[in-house]
């Protein structure tokens, strides 16, 4: 294709990036500035204009969705299949390398991938085995610790215990866990990255091969890379490959998951010849929205610096709604969304964004009342559902008998008379002999240490698996899945469960068979399709729920909203303690990340943006009174407009039991008052009557105060 036409639709900065000469490139891409477009066009440019062979290009992303989108768009652009072009997630690419070089990486040939639930189950067992107190060291926390170490590229013997008993114990569990994984032939997500890094680091010939092969590395969302991912990239780039990385320090919101924004600076340091290009022209939002976002993020320090602008119109002001409580907030959102839909717009163009998942509930209730279809992001994904994981565990055992987590999972599912005691005997045997549970079970059966009934049950289980293995050896993948799901007794097991609950599970199992039927195994891999499929299930857990066909309002956290855009956005719960979240408020770094999260939220909106907060919010069964978020104060006043409910005479009254007594003279709920010392505020509740009457007032500056009416001398406003 004509190289000129690749550059033609781009703006000058995009063009500069796409056609950059042979130098490392760092693209600072603001929200909505055409980041994916630049990556896609860069690849097309390399192939069409620079004559780079597709197999010399490696492109890395963080999600499968981004990888798939990139590949499709490249193929559309260059009108060519891209078989030899490696595009994938860090984990997917690491997995690919480890499958090819499993021996050099010290892995078993049929190794399986643990997802984070599997990892936690495994850890629970290891913690018991090494005799660490489960209550003092909850598996969740140990898991967090281990993963954090792996993100940093640290093995147990690299970690300093800092003379701290707790750390020493964690390190001990980490080491034992590593051991157990190696024996079982399983590998968690962090381990994929760690091993892939070590593979290259310790095998000069392999490293040399890939360094020569990949003359061009492209990385998306570079601000989200963690330490080990960065190290891996650097190793792979060597001295001769040209890295082209795209990121935005202002949208770095995953520090808690190991992401290191500093990698942007390290990159400039390690590749001094780097060309830094800023994409600041925005194609998504109105000028008002961008100006607001710019103003908020300007409060952060140590930015690389960037200012979004648009050629488009100013647009509407940003509307701020001070809700009375969380139900009022939800009602407001629903009313405005109804108006939006009545004006002939799509509900799917509307997003309700919030800081934490617990906030979704009230919106769901309000939407349900209004009979407005909605979709909540998050929650269990297809391959994470219990019944699916049961089925996968059988398949994994067929592929690898030593897979202990899978053994534990299904040894008595469906129940077949192998109780907790029997499993304990097997576990002890495994620990004593240093073998997998499968081998231990074999030994236990042979040694005749169990009661006859238990022994027969274990025998039957071992037999079942051998039989499954034999049965499916020559079947097509979907027939294998179908066979295992039936013969294992899973289908029958769920069919017997309470009617609709079980029925859904049976349906999901059927769906798994369809997924297997539609699965296209990697044509370059000589592994059995089943092993490919199992890896796919672990690496790509699938969509949250079957995509809603209906035109739905979108509900999601700010984190899940990253990368998306909506015509109408409600950014809700802008209260101190909620957003910014209480747990980040006292830490300057944490606070800056909250601010970036706010920036991400603001920049999701294309045309209209509403910000709301509730003066009173019921959370975990308790009423909380918060002041408006500091982020609201960081918005330039000339861009905003306060919303007052149009037809409302007085503010909505939500009856509390204490309100059955009338309000003390004039001090109705929602009434604005002034106090000599505390300044202005709003009445949000009252108790008692006569001389003892007290009111709860939410003051703008000092928060909420309970005042005795007789003494407070409140002035009505």
Partner DNA sequence: CATACAGACATAAAC
Partner DNA sequence: TGTCTGTATG
* Closer residue to DNA (CB): 92 or 247: 92
Q: Rounded to an integer, what distance in angstroms lies between the CA atom of residue 545 and that of residue 596?
A: 28
Known active-site residue 251? yes
Start-end of H helices in 298-372: 326-342, 360-369
Known active-site residue 109? no
Catalytic residue (choose from 36, 120, 435, 545): 36
What count of Cα atoms within 13 Å lies in the side-chain half-sphere of residue 710? 7
CB of 296 to DNA, least distance (A): 18
CB of 653 to DNA, least distance (A): 20
Known active-site residue 604? yes
* Closer residue to DNA (CB): 225 or 282: 225
Q: Which span sits near DNA by CB under 7 A: 274-282, 427-435, 481-489, 615-623?
A: 615-623
Residue among 2, 36, 34, 6 nearest 19 (CA): 6
Give the DSSP letter string of 30-44.
-TTS-HHHHHHHHHH
Bridging pattern class, strands 679-687 and 694-699: antiparallel
Q: Beta partners for 628?
A: 575
Q: Are 555 and 375 in contact (CB under 8 A)?
A: yes
Catalytic residue (choose from 15, 42, 347, 604): 604
- Give the residue, chosen from 358, 446, 476, 710, that forms a contact with DNA under the rule CB under 7 A: 358
What count of Cα atoms within 13 Å lies in the side-chain half-sphere of residue 24? 20
Among residue numbers 210 through 239, which ones bind DNA (CB under 7 A)?
Answer: none
Q: Which span sits near DNA by CB under 7 A: 295-303, 505-513, 580-588, 680-688?
A: 580-588
Peptide bond into 202 cis (omega under 30): no
* Closer residue to DNA (CB): 197 or 607: 197
Q: Which span sits near DNA by CB under 7 A: 201-209, 614-622, 634-642, 649-657?
A: 614-622
Q: Which span sits near DNA by CB under 7 A: 89-97, 289-297, 316-324, 668-676?
A: 89-97
Q: Is 194 in the site for DNA (CB under 7 A)?
A: no
Q: Which span sits near DNA by CB under 7 A: 37-45, 63-71, 100-108, 344-352?
A: 63-71
- Give the residue, chosen from 71, 91, 604, 617, that forms a contact with DNA under the rule CB under 7 A: 91
Q: Is 257 in the site for DNA (CB under 7 A)?
A: yes
8: left (phi over 0), alpha (psi -120 to 50) or beta: alpha
**Is residue 64 exposed (0-12), middle (13-18) or buried (19+ Cβ within 10 Å)?**
middle
Q: Is 115 in the site for DNA (CB under 7 A)?
A: yes
CB of 239 to DNA, least distance (A): 29
* Closer residue to DNA (CB): 84 or 589: 589
Residues in the chain: 717
Q: Which span sits near DNA by CB under 7 A: 46-54, 60-68, 445-453, 641-649?
A: 60-68
Catalytic residue (choose from 112, 169, 225, 251): 251
Bridging pattern class, strands 57-61 and 216-219: parallel
Task: Give the CA-trace dihedral at 387, 390, 392, 398, to 10 degrees.
Answer: -150
Spatial neighbors of 383 by CB under 8 A, at least 6 apart, are 115, 389, 392, 537, 538, 540, 541, 542
Tell me the CA distances in angstroms from 204 to 198, 233, 235, 243, 570, one per residue in order: 11, 15, 11, 20, 53
CB of 666 to DNA, least distance (A): 30
CB of 81 to DNA, least distance (A): 22
Give the DSSP letter string of 90-103.
HHHHHHHHHHHTTT
Q: Are 484 and 391 in contact (CB under 8 A)?
A: yes
Q: Are 570 and 353 in contact (CB under 8 A)?
A: yes
- Give the residue, chosen from 3, 54, 373, 378, that forms a contact with DNA under the rule CB under 7 A: 378
* Closer residue to DNA (CB): 163 or 621: 621
Among residue numbers 274 through 303, which ones bind DNA (CB under 7 A)?
Answer: none
CB of 290 to DNA, least distance (A): 25
Known active-site residue 385? no
Known active-site residue 221? yes
* Closer residue to DNA (CB): 48 or 359: 359
Catalytic residue (choose from 15, 35, 327, 630): 35
Task: Give the CA-trace dihedral at 544, 547, 552, 553, to 10 degrees.
Answer: 30
SS3 annotation, 557-568:
EHHHHCCCCEEE
Among residue numbers 523 through 562, which ones bind DNA (CB under 7 A)?
Answer: 539-541, 556-557, 559-560
Known active-site residue 63? no
Residue among 459, 396, 400 nearest 426 (CA): 459
Tell me the CA distances in angstroms from 448 to 338, 443, 458, one per residue in order: 70, 9, 11
Among residue numbers 458 through 517, which ones bind DNA (CB under 7 A)?
Answer: 496-498
- Give the residue, chosen from 225, 584, 603, 704, that forms a contact with DNA under the rule CB under 7 A: 584
Residue among 142, 115, 90 nearest 263 (CA): 90
CB of 3 to DNA, least distance (A): 32
Tell me the CA distances in angstroms from 282 to 287, 517, 606, one per residue in order: 9, 42, 10
Among residue numbers 645 through 684, which ones bind DNA (CB under 7 A)?
Answer: none
* Closer residue to DNA (CB): 468 or 578: 578
What count of Cα atoms within 13 Å lies in the side-chain half-sphere of residue 299? 22
- Give the residue, chosen from 5, 76, 116, 658, that forms a contact with DNA under the rule CB under 7 A: 116
* Closer residue to DNA (CB): 280 or 592: 592
- Give the residue, chosen from 65, 486, 633, 656, that forms a contact with DNA under the rule CB under 7 A: 65
Q: Rounded to an integer, what distance in angstroms lies between the CA atom of residue 331 and that of residue 487?
A: 51
* Closer residue to DNA (CB): 89 or 337: 89
* Closer residue to DNA (CB): 337 or 584: 584
CB of 678 to DNA, least distance (A): 29
**Interface pattern 299-338 for DNA (x via CB under 7 A):** ----------------------------------------
CB of 661 to DNA, least distance (A): 21
Q: Which span sits near DNA by CB under 7 A: 399-407, 413-421, 435-443, 673-681?
A: 413-421
The footprint of DNA on this chain (CB under 7 A) covers a number of residues equal to 41
CB of 565 to DNA, least distance (A): 17
CB of 61 to DNA, least distance (A): 8
Catalytic residue (choose from 115, 151, 221, 387): 221
Q: Are 15 and 217 in contact (CB under 8 A)?
A: no
CB of 684 to DNA, least distance (A): 18
Q: Which span sits near DNA by CB under 7 A: 152-160, 283-291, 352-360, 698-706?
A: 352-360
Q: Rounded to an integer, what distance in angstroms lies between the CA atom of residue 122 and that of residue 416?
A: 22
Q: Rounded to an integer, what distance in angstroms lies between the CA atom of residue 175 and that of residue 182?
A: 11
Q: Rounded to an integer, what distance in angstroms lies between the CA atom of residue 138 and that of residue 147?
A: 14
Q: Is 166 in the site for DNA (CB under 7 A)?
A: no
Q: Are 50 and 244 in contact (CB under 8 A)?
A: no
* Closer residue to DNA (CB): 198 or 482: 198
Q: At what angle do helices 227-237 and 263-270 cross, to 10 degrees?
A: 20
Q: Is 563 in the site for DNA (CB under 7 A)?
A: no
CB of 396 to DNA, least distance (A): 17
- The secondary structure element, H or E, covering residue 173 is helix 165-184
For the annotated catalytic residues, the residue numbers are: 35-36, 220-221, 251, 604
Query: Which residues contact DNA by CB under 7 A?
Result: 62-65, 89, 91-92, 115-116, 138, 140, 147, 189, 256-257, 355-358, 377-378, 415-417, 496-498, 539-541, 556-557, 559-560, 581, 583-584, 590, 618, 620-621
């Amino acid at each position: 294709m004509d190289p000129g036409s690749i550059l033609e639709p781009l703006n000058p900065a995009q063009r500069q990036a796409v056609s950059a000469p042979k130098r490392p490139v760092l693209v600072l891409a603001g929200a909505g500035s055409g980041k994916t477009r630049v990556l896609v066009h860069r690849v097309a440019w390399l192939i069409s204009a620079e004559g780079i062979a597709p197999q010399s290009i490696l492109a890395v992303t963080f999600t499968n969705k981004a990888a798939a989108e990139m590949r499709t768009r490249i193929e559309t652009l260059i009108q060519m299949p891209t078989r030899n072009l490696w595009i994938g997630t860090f984990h997917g690419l690491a997995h690919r390398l480890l499958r090819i070089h499993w021996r050099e990486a010290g892995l078993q040939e049929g190794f399986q991938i643990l997802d984070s639930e599997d990892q936690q189950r495994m850890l629970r067992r290891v913690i018991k085995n090494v005799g660490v107190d489960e209550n003092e060291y909850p598996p969740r926390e140990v898991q967090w610790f281990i993963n954090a170490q792996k993100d940093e590229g640290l093995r147990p013997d690299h970690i300093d215990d800092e003379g701290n008993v707790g750390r020493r114990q964690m390190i001990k569990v980490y080491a034992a866990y590593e051991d157990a994984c190696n024996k079982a032939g399983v590998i968690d997500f962090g381990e994929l990255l760690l091993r892939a890094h070590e593979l290259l680091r310790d095998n000069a010939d392999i490293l040399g091969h890939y360094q020569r092969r990949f003359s061009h590395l492209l990385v998306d969302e570079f601000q989200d890379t963690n330490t080990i991912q960065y190290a891996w990239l650097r190793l792979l780039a060597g001295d001769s490959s040209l890295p082209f990385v795209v990121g935005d320090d202002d949208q770095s919101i995953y520090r808690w998951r190991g992401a290191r924004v500093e990698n942007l600076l390290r990159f400039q340091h390690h590749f001094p010849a780097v060309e830094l290009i800023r994409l600041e022209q925005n194609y998504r939002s109105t000028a008002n929205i961008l100006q607001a976002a710019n103003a908020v993020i300007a409060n952060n320090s140590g930015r690389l610096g960037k200012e979004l602008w648009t050629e488009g119109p100013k647009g509407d002001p940003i509307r701020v709604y001070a809700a009375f409580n969380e139900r009022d907030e939800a009602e407001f959102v629903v009313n405005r969304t109804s108006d939006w839909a009545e004006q002939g717009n799509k509900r799917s163009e509307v997003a309700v964004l919030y800081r934490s998942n617990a906030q979704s509930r009230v919106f769901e209730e309000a939407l349900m009342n209004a009979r407005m279809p909605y979709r909540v992001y998050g929650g269990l994904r297809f391959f994470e559902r219990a019944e699916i994981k049961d089925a996968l565990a059988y398949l994994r055992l067929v592929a690898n008998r030593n897979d202990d987590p899978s053994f534990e999972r299904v040894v008595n599912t469906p129940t077949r008379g192998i109780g907790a005691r029997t499993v304990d005997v097997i576990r002890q045997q495994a620990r004593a002999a240093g073998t997998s549970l499968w081998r231990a079970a074999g030994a236990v059966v042979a040694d005749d240490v169990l009661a006859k009934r238990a022994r027969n049950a274990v025998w039957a289980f071992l037999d079942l698996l051998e039989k499954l293995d034999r049965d499916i050896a020559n079947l097509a993948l979907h027939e294998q899945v179908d066979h295992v799901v039936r013969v294992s007794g899973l289908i029958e097991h769920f069919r017997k469960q309470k009617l609709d609950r079980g029925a859904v599970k049976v349906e999901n199992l059927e769906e798994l068979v369809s997924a297997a039927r539609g699965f296209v195994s990697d044509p370059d891999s000589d592994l059995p399709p089943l092993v490919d499929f199992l890896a796919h299930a672990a690496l790509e857990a699938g969509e949250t729920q079957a995509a809603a066909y209906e035109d739905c309002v979108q509900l999601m956290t700010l984190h899940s909203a990253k990368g998306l855009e909506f015509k109408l956005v409600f950014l809700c719960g802008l209260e101190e303690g909620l957003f910014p979240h209480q747990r980040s408020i006292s830490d300057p770094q944490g606070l800056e990340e909250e601010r970036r999260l706010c920036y991400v939220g603001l920049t999701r909106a294309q045309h209209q943006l509403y910000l709301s907060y509730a003066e009173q919010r019921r959370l975990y069964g308790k009423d909380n009174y918060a002041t408006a978020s500091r982020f609201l104060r960081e918005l330039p006043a000339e861009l905003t407009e306060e919303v007052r409910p149009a037809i409302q005479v007085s503010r909505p009254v939500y009856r509390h039991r204490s309100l059955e007594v009338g309000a003390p003279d004039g001090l109705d709920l929602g009434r604005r008052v002034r106090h000599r010392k505390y300044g202005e505020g709003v009445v949000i509740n009252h108790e008692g009557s006569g001389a003892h009457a007290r009111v709860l007032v939410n003051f703008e500056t000092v928060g909420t105060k309970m005042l005795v009416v007789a003494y407070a001398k409140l002035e009505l406003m």
